Amino acid sequence: MIAIVDYKMGNLASVKKALAALHYDAIITSDPGVIGSADGVILPGVGAFAPAMANLKAAGLDVAVKQACASGKPFLGICLGMQLLFDGSEEGAGEGSLIEGLGIIPGTVKKFPADATTGNGLKVPQMGWNSLTDCRGSIFNDGDYVYFVHSFYCDPADETVSAAKTEYGIRYCCAVEKDNIFATQFHPEKSGEVGLAILAKFARRTRS
């Protein structure tokens, strides 16, 4: 069984529906005990960084997520769920400061630079389809065409955890893989057959 973490910020039903289409049992839960006993864990998310962290902490789910990541069981962060794994985010923070994240993946979440985006006629948020490049992760492939909706991007401190990149004004890391931990800035559950294939590769690990 795969636990989908409910912290009142997520694209939960779409993730559960995608897993059901792949014939995997999943439960949407805010119970740390259920998360701890699951075969795999998914942290989805749509929304702002600071309220998301506040919700996780209020429900004790920050601890549950850290424990799941440390347990060795397959873990997947999606969109905001990827960003929350990092040390901190510029979103909602004062100049030169960060909103603290979970600190599982060293690095920061940054705003797209205006000279690279709006200066080149690109709108923020990035909304739409883009191709993956520089894929080194075990569940991603160069050329995978996937769906993005976000205004901030992840900048890992260690380049070796970058599992895929894409380009939107700048070339940036849009997926990470570190041991049992996977995360995507894009939405595999909204990315058609390609996205389902990525989810299937992750979900199969919960049965090994």
For residue 79, indicate whether it is catalytic. Answer: yes
Amino acid at 178: K
For residue 187, indicate whether it is catalytic. Answer: yes
Distance of alpha carbon 51 from alpha carbon 154, whole angstroms: 18
Catalytic-role residue among 23, 69, 79, 177: 79
Catalytic-role residue among 150, 174, 189, 193: 189
- Tally of CB atoms within 10 A around 193: 7
The CA radius of gyration of the chain, in Å to the nearest whole number, is: 16
Catalytic-role residue among 100, 174, 187, 193: 187
* Inter-residue contact 87 to 101 (CB < 8 Å): yes
Distance of alpha carbon 23 from alpha carbon 143, whole angstroms: 26
Q: Give me 100's structure tokens.
A: 């603290």
- Tally of CB atoms within 10 A around 67: 14
Distance of alpha carbon 44 from alpha carbon 144, whole angstroms: 20
Of the candidates 187, 198, 196, 181, the residue with the CA atom closest to the CA atom of residue 80: 187
Catalytic residue annotation = 79, 187, 189
